[in-house]
Amino acid sequence: MTMDGSLAKALNDQINHEFSAAYVYLGMAAYFESLDLEGFAAWMRAQSEEEWAHGMRIYDHLAARDTPITLGGLDEADTEYSDPQSVVAAALTLEQGTTRSVNALYAQAVELGDYQAKSLVDWFVNEQTEEEDTLRTLLSQLRIAGNDGAGLLILDRELAARQPGAAGESDAQA
């Protein structure tokens, strides 16, 4: 089935959104590196890798359907924030924007009756629920820790426990 041109454009735009998110998360990692919060930095790097994998998932879908792929530019990523809470709040806002974008893609695929694209986007709908929940929880924990350095270091240690490659595990299962 040939893909509708407007859906192809929206999917290409989503590739750029995912790659841009990867770049933003990398900037967040750089901020945490500057604070010597290696666990937070590693977690943000893993998030960056996960967003890149998401973009590639869409790229591969378009390639498999012989649909032209267009790649846009990336904006400069912030590497300076006021505190760890502001970074995680920005990450949550980023993911909420991704959710809105994914929901629009889903509605468009359904409206056009493109069940191949709908199947692709189904995965992203579920992924966004997980992403937002994880960031809301982390933000809540940071608020509880407040200015307590010990609390921040405990969270840093917990985030450091996230194994490399864990970001792609859900990708491999889908």
pLDDT of residue 147: 80
Backbone angles phi, psi at 69, to 5 degrees: -110, 130
Angle in degrees, 0-180, between the axes of helices 149-160 and 115-145, rounded to the nearest 10 = 150
pLDDT of residue 131: 95
pLDDT of residue 161: 87
* Domain residue ranges in the chain: 5-166
| CA gap 124, 120 in Å, rounded | 7
| CA gap 97, 74 in Å, rounded | 16
Q: Are 39 and 155 in contact (CB under 8 A)?
A: yes
What residues in the chain have per-residue pLDDT under 50?
166-174
CATH topology of domain 5-166: Ferritin (1.20.1260)
Q: Is the dihedral of CA 10, 61, 52, 137 positive or negative?
A: positive
DSSP 162: S
Q: What pTM was estimated for this model as a whole?
A: 0.91
